């Protein structure tokens, strides 16, 4: 079993090799907007999980997740060969590609925070316009003398 530091170094190297191969060497148009975000390697260095995101052609166009997954599945053998040649390890790790959901989760969290801020502003506006339900000063003061307190 290898140490975790070696697994992290290998993961970083695999990430670099796969990203550069997708960008320059693999000519599949389905992979044009694929970005490698992270790579995790098991401690025995036999399996590597490559996380990726897919961007759309523009902000208005929905990304083609299925096409990107199919393109990566087709290119897995070539990418594994490149990783084997680029890392020089005895056993080339098997590559598994997983769609990274962190950007979508971050976008959902930002929407929730924006909704909470809007609700806070609404409550603050209502509080500024509100008047007290009872007296303006509901607490007793020193000037109020109670005849029973003698």
Q: What is the CATH number of the domain that holds 59?
A: 3.30.300.20
What's this model's pTM, rounded to 2 decimal places? 0.70
E strands, 43-108, are: 47-54, 94-99
55: pLDDT strictly greater than 60: yes
- Counting the structural domains of the chain, the total is 2
- The length of the chain in residues reads 150
Residues 66 and 11 in one domain: yes
Residues 55 and 116 in one domain: no
Question: How far is it, in rounded angstroms, from Cα 26 to Cα 19?
Answer: 10
Domain coverage including residue 115: 102-130
pLDDT digits (tens, 9 = 90+) for 60-78: 888 889 999 999 999 999 9
Q: Per the domain annotation, does 21 fall within a domain?
A: yes
pLDDT digits (tens, 9 = 90+) for 40-54: 999 899 999 999 999
Strand partners, 36: 52
The residue among 99, 114, 145 that closes a domain is: 99
Strand (E) or helix (H) holding 40: strand 34-41
pLDDT digits (tens, 9 = 90+) for 70-128: 999 999 999 999 999 999 888 999 999 999 888 788 889 999 999 999 999 999 998 88
């Amino acid at each position: 079993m290898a140490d975790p530091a070696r697994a992290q170094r290998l993961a970083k190297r695999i990430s670099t090799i796969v990203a550069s191969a997708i960008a320059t060497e693999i000519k599949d148009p389905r992979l044009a907007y694929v970005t490698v975000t992270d790579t995790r390697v098991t401690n025995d260095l036999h399996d590597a999980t490559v996380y990726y995101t897919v961007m759309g052609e523009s902000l208005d166009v929905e990304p083609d997740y299925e096409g990107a997954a199919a393109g990566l599945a087709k290119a897995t053998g070539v990418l594994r060969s490149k990783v084997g040649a680029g890392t020089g390890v005895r056993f080339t790790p098997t590559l598994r590609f997983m769609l990274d959901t962190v950007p979508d989760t971050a976008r959902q969290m930002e929407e929730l925070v924006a909704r909470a801020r809007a609700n806070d502003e609404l409550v603050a506006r209502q509080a500024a316009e509100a008047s007290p339900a009872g007296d303006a000063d509901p607490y007793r003061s020193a000037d109020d003398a109670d005849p029973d307190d003698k």
